[in-house]
A and B are shown apart, each in its own frame.
Chain A
């Protein structure tokens, strides 16, 4: 029995420095960075005061006043990118049975801005132990349960199939796409709107990463603060944004003459069962996820032509990941170009995995590999080809993208060009 294949037919992106797919891709291929000092609130008290912010005005992107009021920023990103993905797919959703359209949204921390703002008011900045419900928004429950983001996306696209949020920390974005893929393969949906969204640039999130020194304190040079694989890297830069995809059964997409950006040919996740935030140096579990994803995609290490890395820019991640590539790809790891777009757009937690899928798909389509910005002095322990500073043109048919997250999640996805015969 041949399995159902899953095509990506539409993409939507909200990224720091690039709202919409064309702007996002320009930023990446030009190697520009969107990291800066936080502007959405005064970050003076924090150890790390840098973030990659999206200059996003919801009204400009078609959201009405009521939608804006009831939706957290993460939900707004989700809805705007879902609409863009559907629009770009050319799919007339009114021709599809709504019950066959599913939604799978990844988010690590949901409506955190809304939750923090509501907390401040209802507790009078923490003065009240017993919060005053009379000062809470009637939309508070939407912030309390992040599944409201999924509901907004489903309403926006008219989906009435299975809908859920996949919340696997920083692998949420790619995991939600993998989850959506599974729904098509098993036959429970014909179309899935899948992706990830997070808007974590809030005081509480800055504070929690400060507390574990995970974010970079390079406050005097924000534009060059995110330095994956560089010897001078000292933490990640928080980002925000979303990417959503229209996933379709490949045959369904072909029959309607859709433009097919890429085929999701393999996906796998594993857990390190080691530590909520720590990583072992050997990369064993990420390597296993890569191996299984390649198996599912029926590709060998020789077939992988580009790796879109997790590359967060923390000391431990970049070594862990490099070890995982070597363990899963052997000597071939040294021949495959690798890059981290977090060098340019920061780390948007549950969104970035999906944004990296978008970057991988665009790399396949345009035969251009985005660079790792700010990489000037490689860490000797990170000795692969990380495409420093400048994008590279290269015919590319098969891409691997990986993610690693708090909770121990390790994920890998293989994407192939639609024409690639395999």
Chain B
């Protein structure tokens, strides 16, 4: 019998709320954090909306020693990690370093930092490049900085699989718990809302150019026209269930299942692999489709991708067979932070006995999905979270009540 892995702490930085409490309150009130970009002037670009984390003043949370060497998203991650520990009632400095792992996901690293240094190099010369560039941009930066800040020396990693990476990180953290590391900090906090980041997002061809924020991200709607990028995400403290109970920790829920697949090569004629990721995650959790009370969809809002996701969901659960929601319609897609934020929402939904809504959309009947467009008070005991990454990454996590 594999040991059970549970979540005992959550730290959230989201576009519709800084901190778990603010995020969850906004989400249940259907308050969106998507608005016109403020971090640079987006006027010249065809897409101008993003989900920016509000009210984050880094120096209120972090030492000035850390500020010159960190990208914005790393600062968000360090603070989210602090909050996850505090929420779990764990003081990392009281634990042995080898007993704590860090596994985070990233999509593009500290991209804004890297962009600034590229500009310094090409407009002024190599001597203008920062000594911190060698690690502030690379994909492992959040794992490394969180490890250092909290003295975590256990087996650690950074995983990159675009929007799917956040779930892969949780899967890897669960492996470490199963292999005997008592605690793992995992999830993803991400973001690249800078001019170079922005034109990179645009190059994916998946970004909405809608004219108003409430029409910009409409998954499973006939008017779907792409998504809105956002920043932030969630980090979790994971522990082995018995150890967590023994120390009297409050348990949000169990990471009961995880699986990940990759789509066939384009043009191969083979079926897409998302359904298999869902089925394998259910198998891994030892659960049947009817045991799942809500699905947090990946919800790209690109019609073809929505159709593929809807088909996978209906093939597993039947037409309108399970409530499906996408609270990310209030935050935008947070890249490696997206799915962890959904996992946080799923755990909070289980705690509070509510299903958070998908906002702004009118579901297209053709998808045959039961989309949660207004808050529902049917208490869920379990949830499936789906995430996909550009190129064909499919990951799925099942969380369930630990009670």
Contacts and interface: CB of A to CB of B under 8 A. Distances in A.
Question: Chain A: interface residue count, which band?
Answer: 35 or more
A122 interface: yes
B262 A186 contact: no
Given A146-B139, A154-B262, A204-B118, A276 B148 contact: yes
A273 B165 contact: no
Given A168-B140, A273-B97, A406 B159 contact: no
Given A168-B157, A211-B134, A110 B139 contact: yes
A273 B102 CA distance: 11
Contact of A150 (B115, B155, B161): B161
Interface in A89-131: 98-99, 103, 108-110, 115-116, 119-120, 122-123, 125-127, 129-131
Contacts of A179: 157, 172
A211 B156 contact: no
Contact of A271 (B44, B122, B152, B259): B152
Which of B118, B120, B143 lies at the interface centre, i.e. has the most chain A CB atoms within 10 A of its CB? B118
Given A98-B264, A275-B148, A406-B134, A144 B200 contact: yes
Interface in B219-234: none
A163 B161 contact: yes
Nearest to A47: B126
A147 B389 contact: yes
Interface stretch (A133-141, A222-230, A245-253, A354-362): A133-141
Contacts of A164: 159-161, 165, 168, 260, 393
Contacts of B265: 154-155, 158
Nearest to A45: B126
Given A151-B391, A407-B141, A407-B144, A145 B160 contact: yes
Given A133-B203, A276-B144, A126 B122 contact: yes
A207 interface: yes
B154 A270 contact: yes
B311 to A, nearest CB: 17
A161 interface: yes
Interface string A184-214: 0010100000000000000110111111101
Which of A138, A208, A268 lies at the interface centre, i.e. has the most chain B CB atoms within 10 A of its CB? A208
Contact of A119 (B125, B165, B196): B196
A108 B160 contact: no
Contacts of B202: 133, 136
A46 interface: yes
Main secondary structure of the interface of B (DSSP, over half): mixed
B25 interface: no
B224 to A, nearest CB: 19
A38 to B, nearest CB: 13
Contacts of B72: none
A25 to B, nearest CB: 30
Which of A141, A172, A179 lies at the interface centre, i.e. has the most chain B CB atoms within 10 A of its CB? A141
Contacts of A144: 108, 111, 192, 197, 200-201, 203
A175 interface: yes
Given A147-B162, A147-B391, A161-B262, A407 B122 contact: no
A148 interface: yes
Contacts of A268: 155
B135 interface: yes
B89 interface: no
A45 B122 CA distance: 12
B144 A136 contact: no
A160 B273 contact: yes
Contacts of B158: 166-168, 407
Nearest to A140: B203
Given A168-B157, A211-B130, A154 B392 contact: yes
B184 to A, nearest CB: 12
A285 interface: yes
A125 B118 CA distance: 9
A130 B152 contact: no
A264 interface: no
B134 A214 contact: yes
Which of A129, A151, A269 lies at the interface centre, i.e. has the most chain B CB atoms within 10 A of its CB? A151
9 contacts: A45-B126, A45-B127, A119-B115, A126-B119, A130-B44, A140-B203, A145-B390, A203-B126, A206-B126
Given A109-B138, A144-B201, 5 more contacts: A144-B203, A165-B139, A203-B121, A271-B97, A271-B144
A-B pairs, top 7 by smallest CB distance, nearest first, are A407-B144, A126-B123, A151-B391, A144-B200, A167-B139, A126-B122, A140-B203
Interface of B: 40-41, 44-46, 69, 97-98, 102, 106-108, 111, 114-115, 117-127, 129-131, 133-135, 137-141, 143-145, 147-148, 150-162, 165, 168, 172, 175, 192, 195-205, 259-266, 270, 273, 276, 389-393
